[in-house]
């Protein structure tokens, strides 16, 4: 089956969870999935549950989410580049039909990852692999390469009422 | 923990998968979830995978998705009302912290379910339950009751190129 390139972007909720749900759905059809999580190193709830599903492999690349652009060091960039190369080799291994690069868009925006390196990976996508890229601020050049782009848009948000991220819901 | 009311609506992808991903995340924090799927009766991939996760209970209410408004019969309405009441009793049982009513918005739009019945259910939501409503065409009255509303918006879609729904990706 031909695989496409999907992007979930925008400032609304549901980008990562949509990618996870997609992997869950695919696993139900016995498709193997690799999920690489950029800018995530904490114990997110999904990690624990997904590890129990044989068709899904998930890895967090350790750089926490709350850094500012000023905090992006050469060391972080190096680490992120290695992570991206790992995802690329997973994509090229022939073992997976679904590859999720979670928060990759915002990693590019932060300058942790070069836009060009993501475009290089996209160019190598095997025909049968579905590639999912999530995160706000998806760059135009990457959107251009995608077959399906969905923007998650906030219509109403309880954060306005002063609620913080909650375990088991937002993380 | 206080639970909120979330809506995922809009014509873009990722509404159901975002709700599934949210349940997966919550299960990782040992929260019990009930997912009721309206207008779904086929073997969606998520059903198979989610049944393996002890904290998640999922049920499809049997009415297929592809009906037209003209096909909505009294029998279908009756069946849908029973399904909604079942979800309500799950919500009130004290067993679950997450309740997902998948495709409930579009069920209201189709006239399968009364808007008022959904509002009645919402009014009974226990303080600690997170209630997630998905589906396009969320009615204004329900949006008004929600704490968090996200619109999934198509930016670019390969269906324009004539691709049909694929097993393991869209279903």
Q: What is the pLDDT of residue A131?
A: 98
Residue B51 lies in a domain: yes
pTM recorded for the entire structure: 0.91
User: What is the ipTM, given to two decimal places?
Assistant: 0.89
CA count, 13 A, side-chain hemisphere, A13:
24
A22-31, A44-53, A134-143, B76-85: segment of lowest average pLDDT: A44-53
Give the CATH number for residue A18.
Answer: 3.40.50.300
Mean pLDDT, chain A, whole residue set: 91
- Contact (CB<8Å) B6/A13: yes
Number of structural domains chain B divides into = 1
Residue A148 lies in a domain: yes
- Contact (CB<8Å) B152/A148: no
Mean pLDDT of all residues in A29-40: 94
Top residue of B44, B49, B52, B55 to mutate, by most chain A CBs within 10 Å, is: B49
Please write the tens of the pLDDT for every residue from B4-38.
Answer: 999 999 999 999 999 999 999 999 999 999 999 99
Residue B70 lies in a domain: yes
Number of residue pairs across A and B with CB atoms under 8 Å?
A: 203
Nearest residue on chain A to B143, judged by CA atoms?
A156
Residue A41 lies in a domain: yes
A50: tokens are: 């997904």
Domain, as residue range, for A81 = 5-161
Mean pLDDT of all residues in B67-93: 92
Mean pLDDT of all residues in B164-171: 73
Confidence of residue B68 (pLDDT cuts 50, 70, 90): confident
Mean pLDDT of all residues in A62-68: 70
Mean pLDDT of all residues in B142-171: 82
Residue A20's closest CA among B1, B21, B110?
B21
Please write the tens of the pLDDT for every residue from A103-115.
Answer: 999 999 999 999 9
| Residue B25 falls in which region: left (phi positive, over 0), alpha (psi -120 to 50) or beta | alpha
Which A residues, 108 through 147, put their C-beta within 8 Å of a C-beta on chain B? 130, 143, 146-147
Residue B77's closest CA among B42, B34, B41, B38?
B38
Residues of B in contact with A151 (CB under 8 A): 12, 152-153, 155
Tell me the C-alpha distance between A25 and B46, whole Å: 4
Q: What is the pLDDT of residue B168?
A: 75
Q: What is the pLDDT of residue B44?
A: 75
Residue A122 lies in a domain: yes
Q: Is A1 on the interface with B (CB under 8 A)?
A: yes
Instruction: Name residue, tokens 């009415």.
Output: B63
Flag whether pLDDT at A12 surpasses 60: yes
Confidence of residue A41 (pLDDT cuts 50, 70, 90): confident
Distance from CA of A127 to the nearest CA of B (A): 15
């Amino acid at each position: 089956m031909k695989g496409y390139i999907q992007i979930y972007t925008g400032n609304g909720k549901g980008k990562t969870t949509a990618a996870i749900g997609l992997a869950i759905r695919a696993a139900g059809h016995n498709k193997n999935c690799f999920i690489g999580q950029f800018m995530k190193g904490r114990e997110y709830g999904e990690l624990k549950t997904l590890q129990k599903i044989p068709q899904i492999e998930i890895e967090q690349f350790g750089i926490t989410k709350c850094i500012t652009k000023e905090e992006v060091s050469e060391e972080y960039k190096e680490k992120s580049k290695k992570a991206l190369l790992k995802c690329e080799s997973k994509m090229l291994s022939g073992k997976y039909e679904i590859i999720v690069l979670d928060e990759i868009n915002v990693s590019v925006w932060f300058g942790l990852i070069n836009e060009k390196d993501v475009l290089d990976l996209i160019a190598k996508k095997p025909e049968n692999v579905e590639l999912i890229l999530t995160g706000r601020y998806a760059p135009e050049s990457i959107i251009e390469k995608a077959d399906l782009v969905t923007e998650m848009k906030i219509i109403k948000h309880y954060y306005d009422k002063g609620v913080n991220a909650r375990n088991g819901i937002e993380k």
